[in-house]
Structure 1
Amino acid sequence: MKELFKGYYRPSESEFQEIWKSATFVLDANMLLNMYRYPEEARTQLFTVLQSIAPQLWVPYQAALEFQRNRLTVIAEQKKRFSEVRKVLENYEKGIISELDNLQLKKRHSSIQVDELVSALGEKITNFIEKLEQLEATQLSVTDNDPIREKLDKLLEGKIGEPFSQEEINKIYQEGEIRFKDEIPPGYKDYKKENENKNDIFTYGGIIYKRKYGDLVLWKQILDKALQDSIKSIVFLTDDEKEDWWWITESQGKKKVGPRPELVQEISKYAGNKFFYMYNSEQFLRYSKEFLNTNVTDESISQVGEIATESEIKFSNRYSVMRKLEYLACKYVLAWLKNRYYNSIVVENERRFPDYIVHDSKSGKSLGFEVKLSRDPYATKFILRDQQYRGYYEIKEGSLDEITFVFVTLDEETASKMLQILQRNSIQLPPGVSLIIGLLNLENETDFTSEFCPLAEFNRDIL
């Protein structure tokens, strides 16, 4: 019976001993990205544990690609925390002073004296902010050399899988349509969150990727690795908490029992795999003490668990917000295009890239417009470098006469920094490629023609 229903059986204690000795440990992108969120001591201890099993580590190409694409966003997120804390403290001090002033105690009460309290509080906050600024000066920035990635590069050298070809990727997408409709894991949770628009698609290395199939592509790479190398035991290390990876049951609250039984069955059938198991980062550190005799502290285990859970929740919430903002950015840029080219035909591009095509009645040209929502000004130059030659290729192939990348920001400060960065780096645009930086005003949701406000426009002769 156990052979028929492997996914419903947890490995025995002796089997776990065997797994930890000989298994290939597969790292997900979120495990690598969370390295930037952990306190230094917890990060050091996690690195030490990973180094102790270095020969057993492997990273699917999809996970490595997602790590590289999201690394700067996580670094910027950590840097932003300093200004957020500073703002909270300053507002807190101002709020207390304002509330006490409203009471007019000097005029209306003879014995309550708050000047000493306010002075002491202000001094404490000022001292803390000074220490905060000192810490901020040492915090990793998006433009700094990255010692964390350097350590990961060294640890994972020669341990990254190969990418799939476009033909292989396309077959996985076709299979994914069927799997996700039937909620066959993994990845159907991401499929439900994504809308079929340009933000679902990106390119790298000449391959066109759809983000909603990312987990399925990763899973297929794990399956192929297990088959090609005849791997009998695989442990997948992931901080993804969704039910399309984990077998979750109700027992005085939701409990993760282990990997989804369907996944265990699929890898066993496909690759003859004997064991497939999963740990999140907290579980991995905790059980490393038992099976690897590591010296990980309980404090580090607790910190890693809290941060991994928090980042997953924030990612889920932020993901929904970003989808809405990206939709609004496209919607309002489209309205602006229709207003700007009011005598021309403006259409959404069925080929997905670029987003919109304007058949200009004045020039007779086909003009492409690709919309990019940007909340991180430092990442803009990398996105532009990655995308501009894709646009130039469309021009050379004759699909378009010109293409414009429209970077949409949500505030003037981000737009201003973006302009400074682009001008400072002297980015060379290919012929026919231009750039617009603009602001999305979300205060008025009815006058669609005035929501997107272009602030600057560049072509290869200006930038």
Structure 2
Amino acid sequence: MPNEKIIEELQYGLLHQVPPGYKDASKDDQGIGDVIIWLSLLGLGKTSSKDLVFVTGEQKGDWFVRAGKQPLYPRPELVDAYRRASGGRSLRLSSLHDLLRDMEAPESLVNDVEIAEASANNAIQAAAAGNLRFADTRHTSRRSSELRFYGGGPAVPAGEKVFDYSTYDGRARIEHAGQAFDVAFSKSSDTSIYLLKRGATRRIGRVKNAELGQILTIDAIDTTSSHYTIQLNDGFLVENDAGAVLAGRISGIQDDTRGSDRDEVRFFYTINPSGSQVVMP
């Protein structure tokens, strides 16, 4: 397509808020990258007449219909434009980890890709907004021993814990480099669990809708209760008596009253020194 035609498409889209690209109007290039990508997708549909999966980290409202902070499904205008260009074929916008899961890739691979994508997207957003740092994509395996800050900051110890919360009063002790945390849970259901304040714990808190790799502080969340209900995939913080903070994210819950053969909780965590910002796993 001639450059003049691309510019014309861009300017018309900005004027009439035609997706995609108009959400990037404030950028130096006014979002022309999105327009070029979209015109390329339409070109593929026209020449191939096939269903298309576009793997992307894009989540803005000029690509997706959104609810709150979550993208729900592609803009109907985009789906319709691709259908017309391709002779009735369908369009899907997908993250790589969702596509891999649908292709029945190993769950460990899906998890690694999911956190890498989230960390990369958060890093881009943080750099664009000039706000807090996010986790670097160089060390993002949830099973690795550390998570690094975006921009080459210090390493944050990370790990995974699985235990039977019906034993030892629901308490598990996590130790690393002289720091110790008493993390305690009790039964709620197979989609949520109670986080309890136990042992050498100063404060606990719940972190709703935290992004993977997001940076926060424990002072920014509510810590006034001795227990919180944590939903599957939600985050939580546990501060020990020395002021260090363990940040966790619930990744699995089993309940022996709801069809499982045991009570089990699984979570990923990072360990953050006293006085430092906290990175969510």
For the aligned pair, the TM-score class normalised by the smaller chain equals: 0.3 to 0.5
Q: Indicate the structure (1 or 2) with the bigger Cα radius of gyration.
A: 1
Higher relative contact order (CA 8 A, sep 6+): 1
Give 1 or 2: higher helix fraction: 1
TM-score by length of 2: 0.43
TM-score by length of 1: 0.27
